[in-house]
Chain A
Amino acid sequence: MSGDYTGRNTGDAIGHATISNSEVNHWLIENIFSYNRSFGKHTIDFTGLYSSQKDYTFTNTLNANTFINDLTNFYNVGSAQIQQTASSYTQSTLLSQMVRINYSYAGKYLLTATARRDGFSGFSAAHKYGTFPSVALAWNVNEESFLKGISSISQLKLRASYGISGNQGVSSYNTLTTLGSTQYIYGSTTTVGLVPSAIGNGNLKWESTKGLNIGLDFSILRDRITGSIDAYDTKTYNLLLSRKIPYITGYTTILDNIGKTANKGIELSITSRNIRGTNFSWETNVNFSANRNKLVQLYGDNKDDITNNLFLGKQLYAVYDYKLIGIWQKGDDFTVDPSAKPGDLKFADLNGDGKINTADRTYLGSRLPKYIAGMTNTFRYKNFTLSAFIQTFQGALKPNPIYDYRDQAGRINLPAGIGYWTAANQSNTRPSLSYSNSRQYTYPVSGSYTRIKDVTLSYNFPKQMLEGLKIANLQVYASGRNIATFSKWLGWDPETDFYSYAANQGSSFYPLVATAVLGINITLQ
């Protein structure tokens, strides 16, 4: 249960109270059968599982407003002039059957084979169940006799797995067409009405991913360098996506299983203990991941789906727009775009038909990064520790609608120095303030950034100093978060994904905050 009240002291002249109660139920029955046996160097482990699960949530909310004063807070909503109630219930069920065999030989060779079949209530009657087999192998190379003598290698493990996994990834009731309730009036009486609210998909089924993962865990040079490297090559079938459909249907979207994507990628994490002295040490941790994603197949008609932003052979989260080639200047030849005037954006006539129209839009890139990486350096001198964490996000193209908010000056903060086109300042990159963007251009620009995420300096008081004070640990620290960002992005923050005009005016549109923290950690004995 939670309650909230805003009143006069927060600028709310009538007072608003909210009380909400949620009851979340979850039950799970698992029947597990397991058998294991070792003989000689062989170990076999067999597990069988049959489980059923039910989750249901019942929520009710009470909103009230127009109180005579703030005294009752949210404890007496009955004293408000207006009360509104709401409640909702959702339920889902899941059935699972699984068998798994683990086999290992002398701790060197490990094999796991799994087959599972899951049924989920949220899918359509004919497709509730999915079957997902997989097999995994591992080889502890450092257990081999030929590496036994080499003390600089303390761990070397090769892993590989191949299989299919399922993603249920949807909430309940998406297979059903629904009517929602609404309110209308006759005369001066509020009346309840029914309106079509969502279209169900009677063919909804599991999304599944089939693929190969290969990995290596290592620890070498007397544990000076440890880490792991993983590479994968997978294909995902029947992606569960909210798909836009023509407004002609009376609806806007339907949850649907769409196409096939391929993902290839690499992830690594390495820790290096560069200096290991008694008084001074320096440790570096680096992690890196890169993923290449490609839409392999769509509806089988070999055509892109522009509205849903899905382009065959291209990455997901596509940016599809006109190609900006500058700004129209006085004296230019406007034949190709007669609606333009000096100071308007100038787009490329990509299909060369002599006019700018929607056929000149193209796939420009993806909002997915080419790679992301992070590095943490930790220095320790006696009782002082200094650590710094830097992260970087590279190679994504992101729409930056802040360029389009000319008419919002004074209501949202616009970055200084956009340098709008004027007759005097003939910018070739920024439009004039009177540009009305009738082609709904989204201003895609590089979303790359590198950020000093955290720097912390701490001091741990020596134990012997603390003993008489019954204190186990005492640490003082100073830390700064989001201290600096290096990016060409204009506006609040390259990390924000803001597409909706309304959201930008709302309170959720809040920039990343740089913080400085001074702190003490005390552990009493």
Chain B
Amino acid sequence: MKRLFSLLLIGITGMLAFNSCKKSFLDEDIRTQYTPSTLKDVLSFEAAVTGLQKIVRDQYEGDQGIIALLQTGTDVARNGQTTSAMAPYETYSQLNSQDAASLSFWRWGYQVINASNVIIQAAQSGNTSLTTAQANGYVAEAKFFRAYAYNFLSTLFGGVPLITAPITAPKTDYVRAPLDTIINLQINDLNFATANLPDVAHVTAEGRINSAAAAQLLAITYLRANKPALAETQLSKIITGGAYKLVSNRYGINSLLPGDAFSDMFIYGNMRRSQGNSEAIWVVEEANIPGGYSPTDQHRRVWVPFYVNIPGMLVADSLGGRGIGRIRPTNWWTYSLNLNNDMRNSRYNIQRKYYYNDPASANYGKPVVVTSNTDTIQNIYAHTTKWNSYTSADPFGTITYKDRIYMRLGETYLLLAEAQFKQGNTAGAAAAINMLRTRANAPQVQASDIDMDFILDERARELIGEEDRRITLMRTGTLVERVKKYNPTSAGSIKDYNMLLPIPQSEIDVNKGAALTQNPGY
């Protein structure tokens, strides 16, 4: 009996001792995260595209001033309340390869590109349950966003490293591809996207990208490639397709309150196509619910002046909520941009007058008197109301819970005017611009008025607060001349080489195996 017990004991011990000898004992079984091999079916690709759009939405995250410096130091604005990231974009002599904003933009761009590449590679792997049409649809969405990121990067930096597949091991020998190569990739990606994306009537959700958005980005890319005729084809397709038309009548949630057709478009609740905005081509949706916003969306804070700094002024919804005055429009935009008899200059679209609004103030109801230089630079100035937003639950408001109109038909006409002007068709360009001026009840223009400067002026009238002005001026190669002309604060420091940003030094340093050449001047 005792012998039997001993044998049993030895047996159990042996089993315990060697059960772990199986080769699989040291294999890893990850249970709380996904891996790229998850991307197999429709549901997982839906999630991957959703995640990609989330990364795209975080384009302006980082230093609070990053979103502002895409406007300041240009013709339309100078720095108001300045962050350290904003300083070199006004005093251009300080713009160097250790610049914080360039690094943020660079990083964001390649995050989008990597996430897109993961989707493209998985959808084309042949190892999924997707139909060809489904696979092409996901590839088209990923290619749109990849092109969007490359367009942003190559406008800011010129030629950048070309990455078209996800990496599997550390790599430190990247080189810059020529600008033509990047632009050709954008053209190929966007041609695929326009052919394979659904139109706005057939997208699975309003917030998903559609073929018109791809056509508009393709047109911008053709303009950069100096192929204005091809750009015009894409833009005409959007305009004549009939799915979009300019908003020329009051509509939406505030239509019975004072306002005009133009201001209706920029009220939260009116901005999406389903809410009546027939111009909306690409709108990034936001809402104050989980997942509904970028972690620190600063749109309202940078555009609305820091008027609460003035004694006798309180946060008010009618003044746009609480701003912190980072973007001070230039005097040229404020006073010299011809906006006479123009709806876009109505009191509903540009707030020019301020009255003390604290009932406890002795000056209650009287016009605000500015007493110092600081007041006029960051506290009280004329501002576009496009980013006005206010939540009574959070008057201090770090985050702006407001949709972002990235592309609308108004800009399509401006791009069309540019494409026609580049082909010498000033009459066509004037007609395109007059579509916008008719809607704005503004005087018509003649073919003889049209040149590149006029088109850029018209963009400043129509798209202030919507376009990234710095990107527009860099794309059209007009940043330096227009800053010298219209922005006295930066006119002295800007140099020709500032037409491109510096390649981030930390990227040059970490890329040990090959040289990432720096842009000239930096």
Residues of A within 8 A of B (CB): 29, 31, 50, 52, 84, 87-91, 93, 95, 119-122, 125, 128, 172-173, 175-188, 190-197, 199, 201-203, 243-252, 254, 256, 299, 301, 303, 305-308, 338-339, 357-358, 407, 436-440
Contacts and interface: CB of A to CB of B under 8 A. Distances in A.
B443 interface: no
A308 B16 CA distance: 45
B49 to A, nearest CB: 8
Contacts of B174: 246, 248
A473 B146 CA distance: 75
Contact of A182 (B49, B51, B170): B51
Interface in B1-27: 13, 16-17, 19-20, 25-27
Given A173-B30, A186-B208, A301-B513, A440 B98 contact: yes
Nearest to A179: B34
Given A177-B36, A179-B33, A249-B114, A188 B172 contact: no
17 contacts: A29-B16, A91-B29, A91-B31, A172-B30, A173-B30, A178-B30, A184-B53, A190-B290, A195-B51, A202-B168, A246-B174, A247-B103, A247-B110, A248-B174, A249-B110, A307-B509, A438-B84
Nearest to A303: B512
Contacts of A358: 96-98, 505, 509
A505 B221 CA distance: 43
Contacts of A186: 50, 205-208, 285
Given A172-B30, A176-B28, 9 more contacts: A31-B17, A177-B36, A186-B285, A193-B49, A196-B36, A247-B107, A248-B163, A250-B113, A250-B166
A176 B27 CA distance: 12
> Which 4 pairs across A and B sit closest by C-beta, in order of nearness?
A250-B114, A183-B291, A193-B51, A193-B50
B376 interface: no
B507 A183 contact: no
Contacts of A307: 506, 509-510
Given A179-B34, A248-B507, A120 B26 contact: yes
B296 to A, nearest CB: 11
Nearest to A123: B26
A252 B286 CA distance: 28
B17 A245 contact: no
Interface in B176-218: 205-208
Contacts of B100: 440
Interface stretch (B86-94, B383-391, B404-412): B86-94
Contacts of A203: 169
A233 B98 CA distance: 39
B170 A195 contact: no
Contact of B51 (A194, A202, A247, A303): A194
Contact of B290 (A84, A201, A303, A305): A84
Interface centre among B103, B118, B166, B291 (most CB of A within 10 A): B291
Given A194-B48, A250-B113, A438-B88, A183 B290 contact: yes
Contacts of A194: 34, 38-39, 44, 47-48, 50-51
Contacts of A299: 512
B342 to A, nearest CB: 34
Contact of B287 (A50, A185, A301, A308): A185
B114 to A, nearest CB: 2
A244 to B, nearest CB: 6
Contacts of A195: 51-52, 54-55, 115
Interface of B: 13, 16-17, 19-20, 25-36, 38-39, 44, 47-55, 57, 84, 87-88, 91, 93-100, 103, 106-107, 110-111, 113-115, 117-118, 161, 163, 166-172, 174, 205-208, 285-287, 289-292, 504-507, 509-513, 522
B44 to A, nearest CB: 7
Given A188-B289, A438-B87, A183 B114 contact: no
Contact of A192 (B50, B169, B170): B50
Contact of A250 (B32, B38, B47, B110): B110
A325 to B, nearest CB: 19
Given A193-B48, A194-B34, A187 B114 contact: no
A130 to B, nearest CB: 12
Nearest to B92: A339
A436 B106 CA distance: 22
B163 to A, nearest CB: 6
Contacts of B166: 196, 250
A297 to B, nearest CB: 14
Contacts of B111: 196, 247, 250
A188 B30 contact: no
Contact of B52 (A88, A173, A193, A301): A193
Nearest to A255: B170
Contact of A357 (B96, B168, B207, B286): B96
A450 to B, nearest CB: 35
Contacts of A120: 26
Given A89-B32, A190-B292, A194-B47, A95 B57 contact: no
Contacts of A84: 290
Given A190-B289, A436-B94, A121 B509 contact: no
Contacts of A188: 287, 289, 292
A192 B32 contact: no
A244 B171 CA distance: 11
Contacts of B52: 193, 195
Contact of B26 (A119, A243, A245, A301): A119
B514 to A, nearest CB: 10
B510 A244 contact: yes
B510 A193 contact: no
A272 B163 CA distance: 67
B33 A178 contact: yes
Contacts of B289: 185, 188, 190
B205 A187 contact: yes
A177 B168 contact: yes
Nearest to A88: B32
Contacts of B39: 194
A251 B114 contact: yes
Contact of B207 (A173, A178, A187, A248): A187
A449 B36 CA distance: 50
B27 A121 contact: yes
B510 A308 contact: yes
B51 A89 contact: no
A306 to B, nearest CB: 4
A461 B232 CA distance: 98
A184 B58 CA distance: 11
A173 B20 CA distance: 20
B181 to A, nearest CB: 15
A305 B53 contact: no
A182 B291 contact: yes
Given A29-B20, A187-B206, A194-B50, A181 B34 contact: yes
Nearest to A124: B28
A185 B26 contact: no
A407 B51 contact: no
A455 to B, nearest CB: 43
B443 to A, nearest CB: 40
Contacts of B506: 244, 307
Given A178-B30, A193-B51, A305-B512, A439 B98 contact: yes
Contact of B25 (A52, A247, A308): A52
Contact of B291 (A185, A249, A250, A252): A185
B99 A305 contact: no
A319 B261 CA distance: 59
Contacts of B33: 173, 176, 178-180, 197
Nearest to B100: A440
* Among A89, A122, A202, residue most surrounded by chain B Cβ atoms (within 10 Å): A89
Contacts of B31: 89, 91
A349 B505 CA distance: 18
Given A256-B170, A438-B98, A440-B98, A338 B84 contact: no
A71 B93 CA distance: 59
A339 B290 contact: no
